[in-house]
Amino acid sequence: MVKRPSWLGGSRARAHSHAPGSGSSTPQPLAAASIESGHTTLATRSAEKLAPDAAASAKNTKLKRAGGIDAVIIGAGLSGLIAADELSRAGLKVKVLEANDRVGGRTLDRRLDGGNAIEMGGQWIGPGQTEILQLIQELGLDTHNTYDQGQNIYRSTSGSVKRYNEMIPCGIVASLDLLMATRKINSLSKSVPAKTPCRAKNARYYDERSIGTWIDDSMWTFEAKQLFRMAIKAVYAEDAESISFLDLLATVAGAGGDIEQVLSDAQTTRIVQGPQEISQRLAARLPGSTLELGQKVSGIHKVGGDMYEVSTSQGETYNAPVVVITPPRPLICQIDFQPPLPSGLIQYYRRQPMGSAIKFNVIYSTPFWREAGLSGAMINADETSPVQMTYDNSPADGKQGAIVAFVLGNNSRRFLHQYPDAEQRKQIVLDFLVTLFGAQAREAMQVLEMNWTLAPFATGGYGSFNPPGVLTSFEEDERDEMSRVGNLYFAGDATSEIWQGYMEGALLSGRRVASRIVKSFEAPSEGAM
């Protein structure tokens, strides 16, 4: 017997961290693919090339601590808040502007009766994500393992429902097909530099093909092809036909050349108090006047030599020599920059759409499926049904039960079109769960829906992706590690070199930007700190 790739078992998806971020969270399903890869390197190179004078000036001239605001940070997600925390600790005066009425970005928690948190956005943490685990401990938060005991469920392309333990019941030939596909991708990724994917020998060829095209050309069984498409959808919250194959290879390269790290290994751990609590506790330890909620940035204008004026739709203005920009790319493109951003950078951002993710948490009085010997995990190869995957998302104490269900990519768009009424969508999800877990699945206490495509300050989930042809359509030059134009710094999970779409990536990018900004300022005078 051939052991199926581990992500086909009961793997936890790449929750929108990630990311609906990232904030993504969302399934980190196979989902959380979730941050320091080469996806922004091309745009960054364009920015550095098109604005060499500003970049050189920023690198060679130390900024003065003038007593006012030293840095304005746009966005109070994990990237923005960790950057604010690090800058404040270094003695810099920071102002954080958040358009929403809450912190957390694409992490969002709901409180159940009894106080347990349920994750409506990004949520999972995996092996190797050491920075986020250390921060969780530092903030006094607790973790628990994602429940994965018992049999998993497989829904085949024909719609039949089967239970399994180790080997997904898709047939020996389809299993071999999947195994060979994962090995091929691992092998190809070794020739692709994660930070500079366009330098790969066959970069243009890979970039002009979609992942879906590669699947059709390289795999031979319908069942395996559909399963692989489902796995890709779980990672990107988008269909394989919409995503560059080079994007996937760069992502796998950033995960050490092992697609398993992308598809399933990063969903092992959850936060007892909820992932949004990370941002809430970071915000709570900032100086009192640092954070401003309900302030949507509308313009960033250079005024004078080293200063930027940041204006909001609410009529407020803030001046600072440094600005950190963390929102998703579609929102960055809505800001009026004067002088304008380099055309290569802004065009790159405009060509990077966000995925489409709807996350349902179905709440029960108990996790009844566990008594039936089920893990709560389901993988669906049937494109005709809306839900692609489910997982046990029960609180750590097990006093209540929760099944999380994901509707992704084209399925989410069709689902919203066919069922515009929210109550009807909830009923469809319950009907589907009954086919998996029996009549008791209809006895839900609550059905919580989060449509990240309608979240005004997220615009989708889990994060952005590169359509075919985008990566190689911009010239590559030597560049600074971080995306930067003058003293405008771009952070957020999409700018990270590893763990894009995960909280880990958001954290890494925010800390990296903060480190660079601290070094750009003159050292504080004696007694200033």
- Is the model more confident about 268 or about 158? 158
Q: Which architecture, in CATH terms, is 71-105+272-353+462-520?
A: 3-Layer(bba) Sandwich (3.50)
- Spell out the domain ranges in the chain: 71-105+272-353+462-520, 171-265
344: helix, strand or coil? helix
pLDDT at 431 over 50: yes
pLDDT at 284 over 70: yes
Residue 360 annotated as lining a ligand binding site: no
Scanning 152-275, the segments in alpha helix (DSSP H) are 172-189, 203-208, 211-218, 222-236, 245-254, 259-263
- Is the model more confident about 442 or about 5? 442
**278 contacts: CB under 8 Å, gap ≥ 6:** 78, 104, 107, 132, 135, 136, 139, 141, 271, 503
As a whole number, mean pLDDT of residues 488-494 equals 93
pLDDT at 24 over 60: no
pLDDT at 320 over 80: yes
pLDDT at 70 over 70: yes
Range in 180-189, 246-255, 368-377 with the lowest mean pLDDT: 246-255
What is residue 12's predicted lDDT score, i.e. its pLDDT? 33
pLDDT at 47 over 60: no
pLDDT at 527 over 80: no
Q: How far apart are CA 435 and CA 161, in angstroms?
A: 8
Beta-strand ranges (E) seen in 304-461 are: 307-312, 317-320, 322-325, 336-338, 357-364, 374-380, 389-392, 401-408, 446-451
Q: What is the pLDDT of residues 96-105, one digit of tens each?
A: 999 999 999 9
What is residue 126's predicted lDDT score, i.e. its pLDDT? 80
Range in 30-44, 204-218, 317-331, 407-421 with the lowest mean pLDDT: 30-44
What is residue 526's predicted lDDT score, i.e. its pLDDT? 61
pLDDT at 480 over 60: no
As a whole number, mean pLDDT of residues 71-77 equals 98
What is residue 60's predicted lDDT score, i.e. its pLDDT? 59
Residue 98 annotated as lining a ligand binding site: yes
- Is the model more confident about 261 or about 413? 413
Q: How far apart are CA 324 and CA 297, in angstroms?
A: 12
> Sorting pLDDT into bands at 50, 70 and 90, what band is 509?
very high
Task: Give 171-265's CATH code, choosing from 1.20.58.220, 1.10.3860.10, 3.30.1330.10, 1.10.405.10.
Answer: 1.10.405.10
pLDDT at 476 over 70: no
> Sorting pLDDT into bands at 50, 70 and 90, what band is 327?
very high
> Sorting pLDDT into bands at 50, 70 and 90, what band is 343?
confident
Tally the C-alpha atoms within 13 A of residue 261's C-alpha that lie toward its C-beta.
22
Residue 99 annotated as lining a ligand binding site: yes
What is residue 344's predicted lDDT score, i.e. its pLDDT? 83
> Sorting pLDDT into bands at 50, 70 and 90, what band is 38?
very low
- Is the model more confident about 376 or about 346? 376
Average pLDDT for the chain: 87
What spatial distance separates the first Cα and last Cα of the chain, rounded to whole Å?
A: 65
Q: How far apart are CA 334 and CA 234, in angstroms?
A: 28
What is residue 16's predicted lDDT score, i.e. its pLDDT? 36
